[in-house]
Amino acid sequence: HKHLLGIEPLAPHEITMILDLAERYVDLNRGHAKHGDALTGLTQINMFFENSTRTQASFELAGMRLGADVMNMSMQASSIKKGETLIDTALTLNAMHPDLLVVRHPHSGAVDLLAQKVNCAVLNAGDGRHEHPTQALLDALTIRRAKGRLHRLSVAICGDIAHSRVARSNILLLGKMENRVKLIGPPTLMPSGIAEFGVEVYQDMAEGLQDVDVVMMLRLQKERMDGGFIPSEREYYHRYGLDAQKLAHAKPDAIVMHPGPMNRGVEIDGTIADDINRSVIQEQVEMGVAVRMAAMDILARNLRATPQEVMA
Ligand code: CP
């Protein structure tokens, strides 16, 4: 693949290959000399048209640790504010010969469109409700490390599924790796036609969490609810917020995940989020750097490959 735009086009063996390489970068990141040379000489530009803490910081660190020249475009200060379109902005940057473009955008499909207009490799850092592939890969690595495998697990994804690109990418990835995926949330936050993705749908946390290995909590994405129904936080926490009582329905060794940013007391109780025996939320962040190093390393190998190697 020239780009990483989503989980959808990836084959299971490609997912495994990225995770295996990321494992090596976990070891590198835990050492005192955190430098590799997979991206030496390459230029990486990060363009975030939406707020980010984890994804932007980890893409930046990942690029720096592998020797790339990394530039973060400040989209608030860019000429987008003067009416320049996304494509014109991308073509302008393209003329400066970047090798890797990391893009987050509020509109689904915007990153795919941009990838068609530029010469470099594009990595999707989250587009609207569509996909967030590196999040699903870092979640997969976290699960594989905690459970020792990434197949035949029962995984509950809970909350605002309808507006979540994290849920969509995870549903695709976990399905490809032959896991059982249970979606739990109110009908107003469940996308129509979701059962076609081979998932089970529940409205009740106690029922849906029964015997799961992994509990993945999601934030209410109010910024994407554009005038639609927004549940009251208090009512939502009562029915869908993860607390000890609801978690007791999962397997005793079930892990708790959250992609962040987290709203304590809305979708998750702070005590559960901080419980190092159950929560792997900080490990997810750690895996984020390693997975992004692996993804960029693999795309850089493709950039450097001769046409004959690409054909092979
Ligand atoms: N999980 C995630 O995408 O977080 P940020 O929005 O902080 O990047």
Q: From the CA of 35, how far away is ligand 1's center (Å)?
A: 24
Return the pLDDT at 227. Answer: 67
b/e burial code for range 265-299 (CB count within 10 A of at least 16 → b): ebbbbeebbeeeebbbbebbbbbbbbbbbbbbbbb
pLDDT at 180: 98
Query: Tens digits of per-residue pLDDT, 247-277?
Result: 999 999 999 999 999 999 999 999 999 999 9
pLDDT computed for residue 305 by the predictor? 85
Q: How far apart are CA 226 and CA 138, in angstroms?
A: 29
**Residue 135, marked binder:** yes
- In this prediction, does ipTM exceed 0.85? yes
- Condensed to tens digits (0 to 9), the pLDDT of residues 106-148 reads 999 999 999 999 999 999 999 999 999 999 999 999 999 999 9
Cα(71) to centroid(ligand 1), Å: 19
pLDDT score recorded for residue 58: 98
Provide the whole-model pTM.
0.95
Ligand 1 pocket: which of 46, 47, 53 to mutate (most atoms within 8 A of CB): 53
199-242 tens-digit pLDDT: 999 999 999 999 999 999 999 988 888 766 677 899 999 999 99
Provide mean pLDDT across the span 35-62. Answer: 96
Q: What percent of the chain has pLDDT over 90?
A: 86
Residue 157 three-state SS: strand
| Strands annotated E in 23-89 | 43-48, 69-73
Q: Which single residue is written with the structure tokens 């390459």?
A: 42
Radius of gyration from C-alpha coordinates of the chain: 19
Going by C-beta distance under 8 Å and a sequence separation of 6 or more, which residues neighbour residue 285? 54, 58, 260
Instruction: Look at residues 148, 141, 173, 199 and name the one whose alpha carbon lies nearest to residue 18.
Output: 141
